[in-house]
């Protein structure tokens, strides 16, 4: 059995540190996902923080450690590079990795700081014949995949409305040029990605936002109304200056309703009303359990290796990640135009 060599750039939270969170399911990081596979071995790591780098090496038994990612790319002959850094570093790191000769890259979401950088990454990786996978991990989550199966089989009828929210605390004053955006950008990228995953291609968006620090700084809240090409409607909110975090999707069909998020899963189907003659109402029914529960980080790592071997697209490619980012920026652009509808290509 061939064992693929993996190098990690970025030994922070999503790269490795979240494995120490006792409340999270495991694995829950880039390193954890690849370490769970028998045909993958983490052989090198890079971080500008020496203490984090040392901790990473001790935790995963990796002794090839670097503070300069370019030096790591020059010295190490790896099959896969994971990019788990701040978003503003994704584009140069991904393209440098593709240029170095690796054949698969697993990049944290969102794909890039802006669509222009995202386009460059996708185009360059295709040119170099490098398989680029974006870590929108809910696509690999067993329950989200089961939810998509329920939708695709028509159990809740035709999709009419999808409502999503990624709510969190009020952000500090952060410049767009470094951070890209607020909650809609960093956590809401999962929302836009899942809307595309569940609802299909988007035709238009209309956006609204609040930017208490001014246009050069990230938003406090951003909302978008979305028109799908199949005629259904979506609405998402990111931010909201809440004192809590919440992530949820409410998918309403002609014959039922499905809720899924951090609080679990619920399924409702239209049944004969027990309260009103001649009416149907929604009745909660058991949400079907997946046959097997696998960590989405392990599944994402597995797909990355499958793409390396076969050259096939997978379910969370660079193109998929770019579309999620383009939807976010269409909402921002519309908001700047006071909610004017913007059509997507």
**pLDDT grade for 345, boundaries at 50, 70 and 90:** confident
Q: For the beta carbon of residue 261, count every other beta carbon within 10 angstroms.
A: 18
The total number of structural domains in the chain stands at 2
Give me the residues paired with residue 343 across strands: 204
One domain, residues 306 and 288:
no
One domain, residues 284 and 163:
yes
Can you tell me the distance from the alpha carbon of 327 to that of 92, in angstroms, rounded to the nearest whole number? 22
Laid out side by side, the sheet with 246-253 consists of 280-285, 264-272, 256-261, 246-253, 159-167, 233-239, 221-228, 202-210, 342-343
One domain, residues 234 and 312:
no
Q: Where residue 37 sits, what CATH number does that domain have?
A: 3.40.50.720
Q: Which range of residues forms the domain containing residue 51?
A: 4-138+296-317
Q: What is the pTM of this model?
A: 0.97
Question: Tens digit of pLDDT for each residue in 162-204?
Answer: 999 999 999 999 999 999 999 999 999 999 999 999 999 999 9
Task: Supply φ then ψ for residue 280, to 5 degrees.
Answer: -110, 145
Q: Where residue 197 sits, what CATH number does that domain have?
A: 3.30.360.10
Question: What integer pLDDT is reported at residue 67 of this predicted model?
Answer: 98
Q: For the beta carbon of residue 113, count every other beta carbon within 10 angstroms.
A: 22
Question: Tens digit of pLDDT for each residue in 253-306?
Answer: 999 999 999 999 999 999 999 999 999 999 999 999 999 999 999 999 999 999
Joined together, the tokens standing for residue 337 give: 């135009």
The pLDDT > 90 percentage for the chain reads: 99
Instruction: Find out whether 39 and 1 touch, Cβ atoms under 8 Å.
Output: yes
One domain, residues 83 and 117:
yes
One domain, residues 156 and 230:
yes
Can you tell me the distance from the alpha carbon of 126 to that of 341, in angstroms, rounded to the nearest whole number? 32
The pLDDT > 70 percentage for the chain reads: 100
For the ranges 65-69, 115-119, 341-345, the lowest mean pLDDT is seen at 341-345
Question: What integer pLDDT is reported at residue 275 of this predicted model?
Answer: 93
Joined together, the tokens standing for residue 100 give: 């170095």
One domain, residues 71 and 97:
yes
Q: Are strands 80-83 and 64-66 parallel, antiparallel or unpaired?
A: unpaired
Residue 284, sorted as left (phi over 0), alpha (psi -120 to 50) or beta, turns out to be: beta
- Work out the mean pLDDT of the chain and round it to a whole number: 97
Can you tell me the distance from the alpha carbon of 232 to that of 162, in angstroms, rounded to the nearest whole number? 8
One domain, residues 170 and 22:
no
pLDDT at residue 310 is higher than 90:
yes
Is the previous residue joined to 74 through a cis bond, with omega within 30 degrees of 0? no
As a whole number, mean pLDDT of residues 52-76 equals 98
One domain, residues 60 and 39:
yes
Q: Are strands 80-83 and 221-228 parallel, antiparallel or unpaired?
A: unpaired
Give me the residues paired with residue 257 across strands: 252, 268
CA angle at 68 for the pair 66 and 69, rounded to the nearest 5°:
90
Give me the residues paired with residue 253 across strands: 159
Question: Tens digit of pLDDT for each residue in 204-223?
Answer: 999 999 999 999 999 999 99
One domain, residues 56 and 183:
no
One domain, residues 189 and 335:
yes
Query: Residue 120, Cα to own-chain centre: how many angstroms?
Result: 19
């Amino acid at each position: 059995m061939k064992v693929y060599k993996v190098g990690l750039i970025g030994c922070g939270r999503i790269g490795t540190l979240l494995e120490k969170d006792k409340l999270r399911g495991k694995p829950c990081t880039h390193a954890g996902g690849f370490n769970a596979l028998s045909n993958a071995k983490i052989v090198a790591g890079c971080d500008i923080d020496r203490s984090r780098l040392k901790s990473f090496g001790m935790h995963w038994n990796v002794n090839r450690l670097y503070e300069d990612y370019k030096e790591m790319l020059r010295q190490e002959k790896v099959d896969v590079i994971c990019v788990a850094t701040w978003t503003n570093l994704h584009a140069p790191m991904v393209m440098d990795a593709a240029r170095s000769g690796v054949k698969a890259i697993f990049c944290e979401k969102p794909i890039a700081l802006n669509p222009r950088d995202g386009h460059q990454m996708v185009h360059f990786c295709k040119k170099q014949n490098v398989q680029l996978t974006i870590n929108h991990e809910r696509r690999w989550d067993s329950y989200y995949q089961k939810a998509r199966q329920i939708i695709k089989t028509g159990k809740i009828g035709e999709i009419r409305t999808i409502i999503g929210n990624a709510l969190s605390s009020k952000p500090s004053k952060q410049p767009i040029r470094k951070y890209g955006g607020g909650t809609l950008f960093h956590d809401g990228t999962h929302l836009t990605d899942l809307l595309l995953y569940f609802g299909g291609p988007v035709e238009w968006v209309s956006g609204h936002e609040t930017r208490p620090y001014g246009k050069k700084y990230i938003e406090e809240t951003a909302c978008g109304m979305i028109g799908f090409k199949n005629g259904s409607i979506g609405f998402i909110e990111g931010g909201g200056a809440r004192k809590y975090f919440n992530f949820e999707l409410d998918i309403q069909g002609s014959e039922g309703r499905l809720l899924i998020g951090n609080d679990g899963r619920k399924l409702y189907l239209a049944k004969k009303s027990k309260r009103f003659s001649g009416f149907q109402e929604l009745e909660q029914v058991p949400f079907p359990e997946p046959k097997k529960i696998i960590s989405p980080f392990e599944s994402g790592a597995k797909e990355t290796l499958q793409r390396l071997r076969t050259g096939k697209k997978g379910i969370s490619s660079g193109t998929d990640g770019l579309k999620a980012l383009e939807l976010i920026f269409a909402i921002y652009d519309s908001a700047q135009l006071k909610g004017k509808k913007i059509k997507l290509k």
